[in-house]
Chains A and B, each alone.
Chain A
């Protein structure tokens, strides 16, 4: 698949995502009922949860491509990992900003060092480390390997974040969708959440593909430049 066709696929997904954004805004602000105990601040949920889902998906891609890069050594896997990690950082930042905005109204404080919040902040720093270790060595190949290891090890934080609410003493609300007995959310709220999840997934996948094609082209250009330089004696 050429970089151009990947970019076209990404643009198509991005446009579908933008249509989803319009639908999501209409649903959140004009259609879905206001939650009885938390009030309007609960509407942050419709962007907070999809952002968390996309961040986990992105870091899942980083872990899988990282593991496969360590195994196969194919540079395209590293390119995909970088593109996914960049998106993961964006969406984790969104989670870390929208959560405290909700928390200030619901808990009376922007931040508390409870397990899920702390582990999510840790995830953000792990993937900041992913970018830092890439540049930490003079040998780019070694930097890619270090980053791949960080990506694989860092993904262990994702299940910990998920189970922290039920296994540890946590202030964070319990899951309302991923429960053994099924979702316990009002049907209109559940539909809005699903539209949010689909919208954010489409936006992320679209931007991820475009970013991947850009990374791929950039590295081809770099290789061409290196090949064009005169050899040192």
Chain B
């Protein structure tokens, strides 16, 4: 259960760090608007996948709680 609780935080931290790294790598190229679009695209990808992970984890937690009750 602890792992499930910290997983979203770990994923969020990873996203933050990776996007910061991307910012550092790409800002040198001075392509402001295109850079923003790349940043938004990667953020959307990982936010949507994280959202799916969270919904699956919540569903599993609910089912495990129900199994525990029986």
Contact = CB atoms under 8 A, between A and B. Distances in A.
Interface of A: 7, 21-22, 25, 28-30, 34, 39-41, 43-44, 47-48, 51, 86-87, 90, 93-94, 97-98, 101-102, 104-105, 203, 207, 210-211, 214, 217-218, 221, 224
A27 B7 CA distance: 24
Interface of B: 14, 18, 21-22, 25-26, 29, 31, 33-35, 37-38, 40-42, 44-46, 48-49, 51-53, 56, 59-60, 63, 66-67, 70
Nearest to A83: B56
The interface residues of chain A, by DSSP majority, are classed as: helix
17 contacts: A28-B22, A29-B25, A40-B29, A40-B34, A41-B31, A41-B38, A51-B45, A87-B52, A90-B48, A101-B38, A101-B44, A102-B41, A207-B49, A210-B56, A211-B56, A214-B60, A217-B67
Contact of A221 (B14, B48, B52, B67): B67
B40 to A, nearest CB: 6
A196 to B, nearest CB: 10
